[in-house]
Amino acid sequence: MGIYESGKYIEVHPTFLYESLLTFSLFIILTLISKKRKYKGHITLIYLIVYSFARMIIEGLRTDSLMMGNIRISQLLSLIILIISVFLYLREKYKNK
């Protein structure tokens, strides 16, 4: 897939398609496992972990990201959400044993 930017043809990834497929697939998977949830917030934490990890990867493919120096803001935010979500998931997992 390509676009014209400043009169030049540039090959780009269809990140909107990747994200749409990810979101739909994640919805199906979470719906199937929702009956096996172990505590309130279990499904939400799984969503946040998977989505933020995938979002970090997808944002790395974009050509129009908001940058702060050499860091993409979206990737930084996704990393923060991922770290917090994994921490909460592990805390709940070991608390409920």
How does DSSP classify residue 81?
A: H
In a domain, 78, yes or no: yes
Asked if pLDDT for residue 3 goes beyond 70, the answer is yes
Task: Give me the residues paired with residue 5 across strands.
Answer: 8
Average per-residue pLDDT for the chain: 91
Q: How confident is the model at residue 97 (pLDDT cuts 50, 70, 90)?
A: low
What is the predicted pLDDT for the residue at 88? 96
Domain ranges, residue 61 = 14-95
The Cα–Cα gap between 57 and 55 comes to 5
For residues 23 and 70, give the distance between their C-alpha atoms in angstroms, rounded to a whole number: 27
Residue 71 placed within a domain? yes
In a domain? residue 85: yes
Average pLDDT over residues 50-73: 91
Q: What's the domain count of the chain?
A: 1
pTM, rounded to two decimals? 0.86
